[in-house]
Structure 1
Amino acid sequence: MTTGADTSADVPSDSGDDIVDSPDSADIAQAAAHGRAFDTARARAKELALEIEEHRERYYVKDAPTVSDAEFDALMRELEDIEDRFPELRDPDSPTQHVGGGVDTELFAEVVHAERMYSLDNSFSREELDDWAARVNRGLGRKPARYLCELKIDGLAVNLTYEHGRLVRAATRGDGHTGEDITANVRTIADIPARLAGTGHPARVDIRGEVFIPVEAFRQLNESLVEAGKNPFANPRNSAAGSLRQKDPQVTAQRPLHMLVHGIAAWQPEDGGEGTEASSQSEVYAQLETWGLPTSEYFRVVKTMDEVHDYIDFYGEHRHDVLHEIDGVVVKVDELDEQYELGFTSRAPRWAMAFKYPPEEVTTTLLDIRVNVGRTGRVTPYAVMEPVLVAGSTVEKATLHNAHEVRRKGVLIGDTVVLRKAGDVIPEILGPVTAARTGDEHAFVMPTHCPDCGTELYEQKEGDKDLRCPNSRSCPSQVANRVEFAGSRSAFDIEALGEESAIALAAPEKNREEALAALDEGHAIFMPLTEPADGERPELVYVKQDEEQKGGGTPQLRVESRQSSLIPDPQTPVIDTGANLFDLTADQLRDIHVWQPVRRRNEAGESEPTGDWRYESYFWNRPQLHFYKREQEWRVKPKGEPRPRKNTESLMSELEKAKDRPLWSVLVALSIRHVGPIAARALANHFRSMDKIRAASVEELSEIDGVGPVIAESLHDWFAVDWHAAIVDQWAAAGVRMEDEAPEDSGRPQTLAGLTIVATGSLDNYTRDSIKETIIAAGGKAAGSVSKKTDYVIAGENAGSKLTKAEDLGVPVLDEEAFEKLLAAGPEAVAD
């Protein structure tokens, strides 16, 4: 195993009289312990990186986060701690080294930012913010002249490009290098001028800011949606992001979007002109205001950190008195020269820091604790609560992680609990309000058997806090979660294969017992209409569903007893292991039904469960049945024909397109433990075929840079299971690509053949992924770390430690222009 460090200088020469002490047993034990710790840390870091990237995709691309802000921050901090302890694990693809986000290329064209859009580092206490100020002081060799404090808007980051004062493009931040072209949508926002006011406009300038929906406008928007029979938005941030990322600008134009700008980048003066005359961030804001751009009225320039904390404390008490939702305060060094001197890390400016307010807290009743089974078999308890409004959205569920965490928090079913939430979807239960207990509460008992397949649960290792279901082959929840993961952006990228579709395919009976239990509690289940029996007209109930509020609703049958003949037999899932995913046809999905809770609007216009359920067709639209009487008997006439829903047609189309995804995507989609995108790319680049990966030994797999022994063992063990191998075989038989074309067979010049190249820093014409793909396509090896074996380092802006190491080792360093020459004509083109 190598860690990136060159140890050759420590090896003594056989000639000469040097005396070298042999390592004693303590040294050997310490080295072995470090090796085990490193392997464990590396495996955990890869798990964290994959999980964080999945959460980023849900937040930035799908506008549908599934963890709280605090949980996401905890994952990031754990990964940062691992990388601090083992710096060699700080891969350039790590989430700690780049900005979160992505681009939906099906809806929007890609836009490469002229200058990178960074994220912000976060602090959560006065001490952490003061530590940042101390680092700033050390970086400058003095205290900064002034700080600028402003509110952290909970919206969507946008870049506006003006040429000669005219708006020519608007883009989302994306991954910082590449965003989505949303120009047509942004032009509908009244705050944003199509032409800048005033004079002195540069030939080109990028202006950064945040698009949001004001709090009061958000309330009114939701009221109008409810009145129209539509679902309200969960919170202002999601509503702003969802409104701005619409395919139809007319939809965007109907939403009360606003923008506040807070920065300038990529300034290109007119011929003979100079850059901005502003010398500070606050003067930049004044300049933007003279151009007719919207700036915040809440910012303040101060001289001391005590004044910074006063500003934070004031808005902590008045956060709900502000025009827009906020989740903290941003503190910046005001002087632009000092900002330039401090520079950037790989993902954030050193001259700015976000202070995040503590999440908001409310109390509610804990109605029940249930468990969910994940794709790896992990059984996770979650809380079901009396719906409560907190941080702008109605909450009724929260994760409890494991049985140990339930005991640690000391919560009982029936408790009044303290719920904390910071503007996201999944909240956190802090603990019970013990003074409110009545004696009717009872403890949660962790099940001993899987609630979905009945298999006995077990600890993966003695003392493990998590219980797992070992029936990975056919446990419906595990299969459904694996199918959903296969459709994720990091795997096959199938938009129509989300959580609900995966459940319908692999676990359609998931909520059956919960629905039947509702009957025992006096609730009802609404069933789809069938033809009348014995010439009698069935008793119809018109059920208004959230998505069908117009008219009288959908006619259905009301079931009030478990003994009703209308309750159908359990369905057999159309997917069992996932092997037949690419063999599915629309006709196979015709009769799939799912159990869905019926929701209604309360007096406040919020959606909440009624306790009733409905059994409905998921993939196909069913014809309406018209009942009429003839010759004293009721008869039925269908109106229309059954047909696949639009989402079903999209699923079929996207499955076909997914067959041509590269090999690394297929590897990720298989849900092999520890094999995320980074390891999958390394494996695909080295072997180029699934058959060769399957045939490789653990030793051969371990030798690949980016794989190592933990991943190698996991990969080898996975393929040794017969039904795992059958998934690969059936996907291949269905036409899924299992081999990548070798660069030398692509017809492209192999100018980088035999060269090991490391790219670092921000490049103008390449993202971190595209530079790797370019190197590989030209026959080179795209390495993640610099060593004596590295042939070239391509260095962009803010290159950091890799550039320093290259200079120390004497590795040739090329800028982007020189790299283009190397790419076009090979090493001779850049020879001294």
Structure 2
Amino acid sequence: MTSEKAELQLKELQNLLNKYNYEYHVLDNPTIPDAEYDKLMKQLTDLEKAYPELITPDSPSQRVGGAALSAFEKVTHETPMLSLGNAFSEADIRDFDRRIRQAIGDKFTYICELKIDGLAVSLSYEEGLFIKGSTRGDGEIGEDITANLRTIRSIPLRLNEPYTFEVRGEAYMPKRSFLQLNKMRAEKEEMLFANPRNAAAGSLRQLDPRIAASRNLDIFLYGMGNYGTTGVATHSAGLNLLEDLGLKVNKERKKCATVEEVMNYIEKWTVERPELDYEIDGIVIKVDSLDQQDELGATARTPRWAIAYKFPAEEVVTKLTSIELSVGRTGVITPTAILEPVTVAGTTVQRASLHNEDIIKEKDVMLGDWVVIRKAGDIIPEIVNVLAERRTGEEIAFSMPTECPDCASELVRLEGEVALRCINPKCPAQRRESLIHFVSRNAMNIEGMGEKVIGQMFDHALIKDAADIYFLTKDQLLSLERMGEKSATNLLTSIDISKGNSLEKLLFGLGIRHVGAKAAKTLAEHFESMDRLSTATEEELLTVPEIGDKMADAIVTYFENEEVEQLISELKSAGVNMNYLGIKRQQIEDSDSVFNEKTVVLTGKLEQLTRNEAKEKIEALGGNVSGSVSKKTDILIAGADAGSKLTKAIDLGIEVLSEEKLLEELKE
């Protein structure tokens, strides 16, 4: 057979197999027996074996291939994958509807979709060819799981048209696949997966794609990262386009003209949910018009034009065996109910927070009680009520202790508070929790120093407060369990990088009572340095917008503490930055920065800065960083591998700056 003839036959076999694959996995309407499909696949693989130069990335034979990975690479999303705000009741939905109508009037339509309980993923197509797939991650950066996503047969390796775009979806494990997988694991005496969502997530994070391929995963696509180049005007039209291109979209979507129609749709699927072959945990409601979506905009975390209604929590009965006490970083004593293990909303639950002593009394909780529990929002276990009628007389009343369970100091209840609190500043439990908070992402963001590592350091007396972190040595780190040479080096690098954080990160990390991340930013902007803030009077603090009496009093009290004064001094000597690295709003107004009062969009991969670092620096110079390119965009920062956003910006005549130019502007 000539190479030309082989190529024609190979293309014919590929087209046939892709057609049959689409009918089976997307349309759920197979037109040939499995044996015939397998026969055609063997013909294709035999032909490709004879003519390996003719193998293409979109061939049906290339679903699984290559060696197992050693790790997943990071992927920056072209457009951030935002979370959705949650609604738990009809009142929440009607409140959402009210806000929409106040913002854009009454002329709009909703599109309602089933909220698939799986793993959010992004698929990138270039000229119609599937080139990359990733997890949602933190919304900005995910992990490259292309090899595993290629094993999902409902994902086309080539679209029906040569589109270049990023599409978003939910990869999931059908119920039948989940039952089959757990049956096999039980036979092998392996740990069972708690629910289909965990099974799907675990499958897609396997380094060997052959394992993912064996799990029979599926996917529904629910949108695009950017609709700009497609010409569609509504979200529903976008879903129709995805279907036309051969992508699998859930057919149970519905347009709704009124909030009453939305509630009817929710009621229908609350009842019919168990009949589906896949898990759903709610309903997603979106404004259909893309122009109206742009008009409504988004917060830093969630779009204002969409909301996710979560189904009422499943309630089950179990026995409360004991109550465990923990000490938080602010000294609050939190009681936790220890339960006989029970499955709730697909996962095994053994613990539920009781919040405080008043809740225990209000619900009349006793040791040995039978209790009704549920997961609030299908996530957090809570005790709903006690089944008092099932008491036998052997139950034991519970009372909160008078001493701290960790340091034995006397507990107090401060005026106006319901919580008992340990006020010993040297309490080991508080110090440990404070350190965990200090290194967390929204505070000093020291990567590699999680809760377990902090616990080891604390137990080995390597650190007693935040300042000690900056004097750690490699030898000390290597003495910790599971801490190797590379991990120790990386951790020391991360510690060193954190020294350069702006003042607001340090303020939030110190854990001053009532001072959250937003207040820390406000204080840093106003006072600009730790020295000025630490000597501020209560009257001076009250002149700062959003700083009230309680917070002002807490700040003054905090900095009057001699131990705090010593801590700040040690942090300074370690080289930790004590100044606000941004610019106050008054200064911004007079700034000649290229970003002042401009809307800026970031795209592509930045080499010198993270997305968040670039965003913070641009905003500090008076810029407003947006997630999508529109006519309102003034500047696009284009890093490596910039895609559709760059194309759209050029089409709209928007100024485009390279990362090099960005760094020059920031330096100036």
Distance (Å, rounded) in 2 between the aligned partners of 1:161 and 1:297 = 22
Matched, 1:724 2:564: yes
Instruction: Specify the SS of the correspondent of 1:386.
Output: strand
Change (3 A) 1:189 1:705: farther
Shift of 1:267: 4.1
Structure 1 distance, partners of 2:527, 2:552, is 14
Measure how far apart 1:399 and its partner are: 0.5
Cα deviation 1:708-734 (Å, max 9, x = unaligned):
77656544433332333333444555x
Distance 1:757 1:387, change over 3 A: same
2:121 matches 1:161: no
Aligned to 1:18: none
Match of 1:502 in 2: 454
- Answer yes or no: is the 8 Å Cα contact 2:376–2:382 preserved in 1: no
Quote the offset at 1:401 in angstroms: 0.6
Shift of 1:477: 1.5
Pair 1:689–1:251, CA change in 2 (3 A): farther
Q: Verify the 8 A CA contact 1:759 1:795 in the aligned structure 2.
A: no
Identity level (%): 38
- Which residue of 2 is the match for residue 467 of structure 1? 420
Paired with 1:454 and 1:228, the residues of 2 have a C-alpha distance of 48
Q: List aligned pairs for 1:329-408, cutoff 5 A.
A: 329-332=283-286, 336=289, 343-346=296-299, 352-408=306-362
Q: Which amino acid aligns with 2:349?
A: V
- For residues 486 and 695 of structure 1, the distance between their equivalents in structure 2, rounded to whole angstroms, comes to 22
Q: Match of 2:219, as an amino acid?
A: M
Report the CA distance between 1:737 and its aligned residue. 2.9
Q: Going by fraction, where is helix more abundant, 1 or 2? A: 2
Return the alpha-carbon distance in structure 1 between the equivalents of residues 580 and 137 of structure 2: 29
Equivalent residue in structure 1 for 2:494, among 633, 657, 661: 657
Task: Establish whether residue 428 from structure 1 lines up as the match of residue 389 from structure 2.
Answer: no
SS in 2 for 1:450: coil
Amino acid at match of 1:261: L
User: CA-to-partner distance for each residue in 1:606-631, whole Å, 9 max, x for gaps?
Assistant: xxxxxxxxxxxxx44xxxxxxxxxxx
Is 1:774 the counterpart of 2:662? The answer is no
Q: Does 1:312 align with 2:266?
A: yes
Contact preservation (8 Å) 1:760, 1:796:
no
User: Counterpart of 2:87?
Assistant: 123
Residue aligned with 1:659, SS: helix
1:142-179 CA-to-partner distances (Å, cap 9, x unmatched) read 5656x543211122332322221012333444565665
Could you tell me the TM-score, scaled by structure 1's length? 0.58
> Of the candidates 432, 436, 444, which is equivalent to residue 492 of structure 1?
444
Once the two structures are superposed, the pairs formed by residues 340-739 of structure 1 within 5 Å of their partners are 343-346=296-299, 352-421=306-375, 426-461=380-415, 463-473=416-426, 475-506=427-458, 573-584=461-472, 619-620=480-481, 645-646=482-483, 650=487, 653-661=490-498, 662-664=500-502, 665-681=505-521, 694=534, 713-731=553-571, 735=574, 737-738=576-577
SS of the residue aligned with 1:465?
coil
Residue ranges of structure 2 left out of the alignment (5+ in a row): 1-70, 605-609, 635-651
Change (3 A) 1:248 1:699: farther
The answer for the alignment partner of 1:109 in structure 2 is: 74
How far did 1:690 drift? 5.1
2:223 corresponds to which residue? 263
Contact 1:373 1:380 (8 Å CA) reproduced:
yes
Match of 1:502, as an amino acid? I
Name the aligned partner's letter for residue 378 of structure 1.
V
Q: Equivalents in 1 of 2:653, 2:364: separation in Å?
A: 58
Do the aligned partners of 2:287 and 2:293 also contact (CA within 8 Å) in 1? no
Q: Counterpart of 1:258 in structure 2: which amino acid?
A: D
- Conserved? CA contact 2:602–2:611, under 8 Å: no
Deviations 1:560-587 (A, max 9, x none): xxxxxxxxxxxx7554445533445676
Helix, strand or coil for the counterpart of 1:774? helix
Shift, 1:380, TM fit: 0.8
Residues of 1 paired with 2:286 and 2:616: CA distance?
36
Query: The residue matched to 1:427 in structure 2 has which SS?
Result: strand
CA distance in 2, matches of 1:111, 1:680: 28
SS of 2:367's equivalent? coil
Counterparts of 1:311 and 1:793, CA distance in 2: 38
1:160 aligned counterpart, secondary structure = strand
Aligned-partner Cα distance in 2 for 1:136–1:380: 39
Aligned length: 564
Q: How far does residue 316 in structure 1 lie from its aligned partner after superposition?
A: 1.4
How far 1:390 moved relative to its partner? 0.9
Query: CA shift at 1:201, angstroms?
Result: 3.5
Counterpart residue number, 1:210: 170
Per the alignment, do residues 190 and 731 of structure 1 end up closer, same or farther by CA in structure 2, a change over 3 Å counting?
A: farther
2-structure distance, mates of 1:383, 1:317: 32
- 1:738 partner letter: N
Change in 2 beyond 3 A, CA 1:282/1:698: closer
In 2, are the aligned partners of 1:108 and 1:180 still within 8 Å (CA)?
yes
SS, match of residue 660 in structure 1: helix
Query: Are 2:235 and 2:290, in contact at CA under 8 Å, matched by a contact in 1?
Result: no
Q: Distance in 2 between matches of 1:231 and 1:585?
A: 39
Q: Cα deviations across residues 240-283 of structure 1 (Å, max 9, x unaligned)?
A: 445545677676556554321012353465xxxxx45x676555
> Structure 1 residue 321 and structure 2 residue 275: aligned?
yes
Query: Per the alignment, in what secondary structure is the counterpart of residue 120 of structure 2?
Result: strand
In structure 1, distance between residues paired with 2:124 and 2:155: 11
Change (3 A) 1:478 1:257: farther
Structure 2 counterpart SS, 1:464: coil
Q: Deviations over 1:507-533 (max 9, x none)?
A: x5xxxxxxxxxxxxxxxxxxxxxxxxx
Letter of the 2:439 counterpart: G
What are the equivalent positions in structure 2 for 1:82-93 lying under 5 Å apart? none
Per-residue deviation at 1:415?
0.9
Q: Describe the shift of the 1:765–1:394 C-alpha distance in structure 2 as closer, same or farther (beyond 3 A).
A: same
Deviations 1:311-360 (A, max 9, x none): 322321232332322211123455x4785697444365565443221111
Contact 1:762 1:799 in 2 (8 A): no
Aligned-partner Cα distance in 2 for 1:390–1:127: 25
Unaligned ranges ≥5, structure 1: 1-105, 270-274, 509-571, 592-618, 621-644, 745-749, 784-791, 804-814, 827-832
Calculate the TM-score normalised by the size of structure 2.
Answer: 0.70
For residues 660 and 382 of structure 1, do their structure 2 counterparts lie closer, same or farther at Cα, with a shift above 3 Å needed?
same
Any conservation in 1 of the 2:444–2:501 contact (CA below 8 Å)?
no
Q: Distance in 2 between matches of 1:491 and 1:499?
A: 14
Structure 1 residue 109, shift from structure 2 partner? 3.2
User: How far did residue 436 of structure 1 move?
Assistant: 1.1
SS at match of 1:395: strand
